[in-house]
Chains A and B, each alone.
Chain A
Amino acid sequence: MMDALIERAASSLPSLRGFLIVTMPDCLLYASWSRPGTDFSAEDASGYFGDLIRANRQGLRAVGAWTSDMQVTIEGANVLVVLRELDEHFVCCALFDREAPLGMIRLHLKVVIEQVRAALPKLELTQLSPGARVVQFIERYAPDPHAALLRISTRTHIPLEQLRTPDALTAQQVTAIEEAAKRILGLENIHL
Chain B
Amino acid sequence: MNRFADHCHRVSPHDLTFLAGVPCVYHCHHFNLFHDQTIDDVLGESAGFDLRMRVARDQFGLLVANLAAKTGATLPAEIAALARSVFATMGQGNLAFEGIGASTRATGEHLHYGFAWREKYGARVRRVDPSDAVASGMTAAVARLTGPDNVDYLGRELQCVSMRAPSCQIVVERDARPDMRSVIAAPQILPRLPSQAVTGLDEDVISNITAGLDTFLRGVGGDERGLIDAFGVLVTHHLSGYYNETAFQAVRHVEAISPSVAGACEELLREAGHVCVFNTFGNILLSPEWEGLVGRPTGDPHEIVRGCTAIARGLGFGHWAIAEHAPGKRLVLRTSSNYEAAHWLERFGPDTRSREYFMQGAALAFMVLSQRVRWSERPQLTQAFYDQLFRGDGLGYRVSTPRSLTMGDELTEVVVEQTR
A-B contact pairs, 24 of them (CB 8 A): A41-B383, A41-B384, A141-B124, A143-B120, A145-B387, A145-B391, A146-B386, A147-B268, A150-B268, A151-B37, A151-B38, A154-B38, A154-B42, A154-B261, A154-B264, A157-B260, A158-B261, A159-B260, A159-B261, A160-B264, A185-B125, A185-B126, A186-B126, A187-B126
Which residue of chain B lies nearest to A187 when distances are taken between CB atoms in the complex? B126
Question: Is there a chain A Cβ closer than 8 Å to B34's Cβ?
Answer: yes
Interchain CA distance A75-B46 in the complex, whole Å: 41
B interface with A by C-beta (< 8 Å): 34, 37-38, 41-42, 44-45, 120-121, 124-128, 254, 257-258, 260-261, 263-265, 267-268, 271, 380, 382-384, 386-387, 390-392
Interchain CA distance A144-B382 in the complex, whole Å: 12
* CB atoms of B41 and A146 under 8 A apart: no
Chain A residues touching B, range: 20 to 34
Interchain CA distance A151-B254 in the complex, whole Å: 13
Question: Is there a chain B Cβ closer than 8 Å to A39's Cβ?
Answer: yes
Interchain CA distance A72-B115 in the complex, whole Å: 34
| Chain A residues near B387 (CB-CB < 8 A) | 41, 145-146
Interchain CA distance A159-B265 in the complex, whole Å: 11
Question: Is there a chain B Cβ closer than 8 Å to A153's Cβ?
Answer: yes
| Chain A residues near B125 (CB-CB < 8 A) | 143, 184-186
* CB atoms of B268 and A186 under 8 A apart: no
Per DSSP, chain B at the interface is helix
B256 CB, min distance to chain A CBs, angstroms: 12
Interchain CA distance A150-B41 in the complex, whole Å: 9
* CB atoms of A160 and B126 under 8 A apart: no
A interface with B by C-beta (< 8 Å): 39, 41, 141, 143-147, 150-151, 153-155, 157-160, 183-187
| Chain A residues near B37 (CB-CB < 8 A) | 144, 151
A33 CB, min distance to chain B CBs, angstroms: 16
Interchain CA distance A62-B264 in the complex, whole Å: 44
Which residue of chain A lies nearest to B257 when distances are taken between CB atoms in the complex? A157
Interchain CA distance A183-B44 in the complex, whole Å: 9
A78 CB, min distance to chain B CBs, angstroms: 16
* CB atoms of B380 and A154 under 8 A apart: no
Question: Which of B44, B257, B263, B271 lies in contact with A146, CB distance below 8 A?
Answer: B271
* CB atoms of A183 and B390 under 8 A apart: no
Interchain CA distance A24-B46 in the complex, whole Å: 37
Given A146-B271, A146-B386, A146-B387, A153 contacting B392 (CB threshold 8 A)? no
| Chain A residues near B390 (CB-CB < 8 A) | 146
| Chain B residues near A141 (CB-CB < 8 A) | 124
* CB atoms of B271 and A150 under 8 A apart: yes
Which residue of chain B lies nearest to A186 when distances are taken between CB atoms in the complex? B126
Interchain CA distance A155-B44 in the complex, whole Å: 7
